[in-house]
A and B are shown apart, each in its own frame.
Chain A
Amino acid sequence: MLIHELSQPGRRAFAQAPKTKPPLTDIPASLLRAQPPALPEVSELEVVRHYTRLSQKNFSIDTQFYPLGSCTMKYNPRACNSLAMLPGLQARHPFAPDSHSQGFLGCMYELQEMLKDVTGMRSVSLVPAAGAQGEFTGVAMIRAYHESRGDTARNEIVVPDAAHGTNPATAVMCGYKVREIPTRADGDVDIEALRGVLGPHTAGIMLTNPSTVGVFERRITEIAQLVHEAGGLLYYDGANLNAILGKVRPGDMGFDVIHMNLHKTFSTPHGGGGPGAGPVGVSERLVPFLPIPMVGFDGHDYHWLTEKECPQTIGKLSAFAGNAGVLIRAYIYARLLGREGMVRVSEYATLNANYLAKRLSDAGFELAYPGRRATHEFIVTLKHQAKDFGISAMDFAKRLLDYGYHAPTTYFPLLVPECFLIEPTETEALDALDGFVDAMIKIQAEAQTNPEVIKTAPQTLPVRRLDDVRAARELDLRWRWSA
């Protein structure tokens, strides 16, 4: 039920209403409303109950195991949020002079240093305001690098077919042609195919490591060598940073540029479209092109670095310096964990994923990449269930909701039919993982005894199977008062 449907003429929350009506003398009469806006008329208590009930219907990480993992939301410690709300941070004006912003600038400088350290890159700029902008920035820097050397024939970016869809989109956005290369059956990039596309037109390659199929690219140093020998640069998509945090560094693998989704890995609730933060880190050769403003430190004071200090920068990406609130949360998260704690993030994320993979495999579920050690996530294919019982991955996903588990990512990556991409993350306890496996086993049994209950799931939630086709074709989110 919408709050509009509760509306009764004349109901008010008088205690919340403004005491006086401000005079509107400076607005032309033609722009003033003749009628008050059609807002729902409800009491204060009705509002409280309405939104409390809505929040109780929510399926969220605060209430349920959520194996979408860092792709959508891992657990974000409350401390990061409450400390980011300190008045000194919240009330700082973006135009405040450096001398009045030393605390904030100090946090940002240290965050730059910590991200450099954990990724093995030479320098970091915090300004990209999301993963997509981080990707755009990374490829724009690759372009600026080649152009600064007069190397203008390079017009291709190589992307494996397992890549996130944003990678080829970014390459095209930056004016490059995309050369796709296949992934082998064991999940690694096909090196022979890579050799075939590398050449004088190669500007770079965009890779996610571990890849979207949940395995670590074992021949990454060889790939880096081949791409560098061809004159191209290596772009690291930081989407799966959760798997390697503090363990392996993209800089050591030979990458030239990386974007980090701080909202995924470094403690910001997301999954609803933002706000995010996609800082970029670069190797030595790309340092001059980093976007501004960055934060510098002269041994005594912190200050913004602008075009004056960075003449070759690709420029500014937004009016100020990215999403400060997300960056502060990331800083607090990194400080709370320290270097030792950061290693434990990837260790537990990986342990949990491998435990789930082993238990599900023992229970008869087919792993898409058997024989490979999972990283922080792994893929189960339900193609046999689809064939034998007519139960699709989507049916399984919906039935999991009845058992109190949010569904994992379904139907991605596209390479694997009827797939579940399962990412438990580092914060889940053993009994939560066991409970999820038990639910999967129960659904598997139901597929044979009572497939109908799965095909029509969810049975127990406020809404049943949603019409996603109609939602895509005839989306209408606007409330209209009936006449």
Chain B
Amino acid sequence: MSNDVPTELKYTKSHEWVRVEDDGIVTVGITDHAQELLGDLVFVELPEVGAEFGAGTECAVVESVKAASDVYCPVAGEVLEANEVLADAPETINQDAYEAGWIFRLRISAPAELESLMDADSYAEHVESEDH
């Protein structure tokens, strides 16, 4: 597995990453480790713009030749934008999970929830512990 977990991002146990931007907006994707576990992606079901999700609820689906997997909303909020590129090119996540492969942007409703997310070190440890 790849060892470079970007330090500027926050992470969930279910392998989503969160980039905190200005004005209570975050960008969400799945980690490089997650895409590696899933293998070549063939389909991404994006959340609808305007939809509201609670923390930990299913909001998108990533499907590979091996498995279909839910993507969980890391923190509560309203979807501002979904990465339409993924509809035609789901492999973008395989190629560039942390940048071009972002899945959706969210206006968060409870900023305090960000505190409960993991930093890069804890996430790397989490991945290591799941591996054994």
Where the two chains meet, the residues of A that have a C-beta atom closer than 8 Å to any C-beta of B are 165, 383, 387, 394, 410-412, 414, 417, 468-469, 472-473
Contacts and interface: CB of A to CB of B under 8 A. Distances in A.
B42 A472 contact: yes
Nearest to B89: A473
Contacts of A469: 40, 42, 65, 91
A133 B23 CA distance: 49
A383 B90 CA distance: 26
Best-buried of B66, B67, B68, B131 by chain A (most CB within 10 Å): B66
Given A383-B131, A417-B37, A411 B66 contact: yes
Interface in B62-95: 65-69, 90-91
Contact of A473 (B37, B42, B66, B67): B42
Interface string B22-61: 0000000000000001001011000000000000000000
23 contacts: A165-B68, A383-B131, A387-B131, A394-B66, A410-B66, A411-B66, A411-B67, A412-B67, A414-B67, A414-B69, A417-B37, A417-B131, A468-B40, A468-B65, A469-B40, A469-B42, A469-B65, A469-B91, A472-B42, A472-B43, A472-B65, A473-B42, A473-B90
Contacts of A394: 66
Given A410-B66, A468-B40, 11 more contacts: A394-B66, A414-B69, A417-B37, A417-B131, A468-B65, A469-B40, A469-B42, A469-B65, A472-B43, A472-B65, A473-B90
A388 to B, nearest CB: 12
Interface of B: 37, 40, 42-43, 65-69, 90-91, 131
Contacts of A411: 66-67
A472 B37 CA distance: 18
A20 to B, nearest CB: 51
Nearest to B66: A411
Contacts of B91: 469
Contacts of A410: 66
A412 B42 CA distance: 18
A411 B67 CA distance: 8
Best-buried of B43, B65, B131 by chain A (most CB within 10 Å): B65
Contacts of B65: 468-469, 472
A472 B63 CA distance: 10
B111 to A, nearest CB: 28
B6 to A, nearest CB: 23
A470 to B, nearest CB: 9
Nearest 10 Cβ contacts at the A-B interface: A472-B42, A469-B40, A411-B66, A468-B65, A473-B42, A414-B67, A469-B65, A472-B65, A469-B42, A411-B67
Best-buried of A394, A410, A411 by chain B (most CB within 10 Å): A411
Nearest to A474: B42
A327 to B, nearest CB: 32
Nearest to A411: B66
Nearest to B69: A414
A411 B65 CA distance: 10
Contacts of B90: 473
Nearest to B132: A383
Contacts of B67: 411-412, 414
Nearest to A471: B65
Nearest to A417: B37
A383 B68 CA distance: 20
Contacts of A387: 131
Best-buried of A383, A387, A410, A468 by chain B (most CB within 10 Å): A468
Nearest to B67: A414
B68 to A, nearest CB: 8
A251 to B, nearest CB: 33
Contacts of A383: 131
A472 B67 CA distance: 12
A281 to B, nearest CB: 30
A469 B67 CA distance: 12
Contacts of B66: 394, 410-411
A451 B90 CA distance: 29
A256 B66 CA distance: 34
B53 to A, nearest CB: 15
B79 to A, nearest CB: 21
A140 B1 CA distance: 45
A408 B43 CA distance: 25
A473 B69 CA distance: 17
Contacts of B68: 165
A417 B75 CA distance: 27
B108 to A, nearest CB: 25
A320 to B, nearest CB: 34
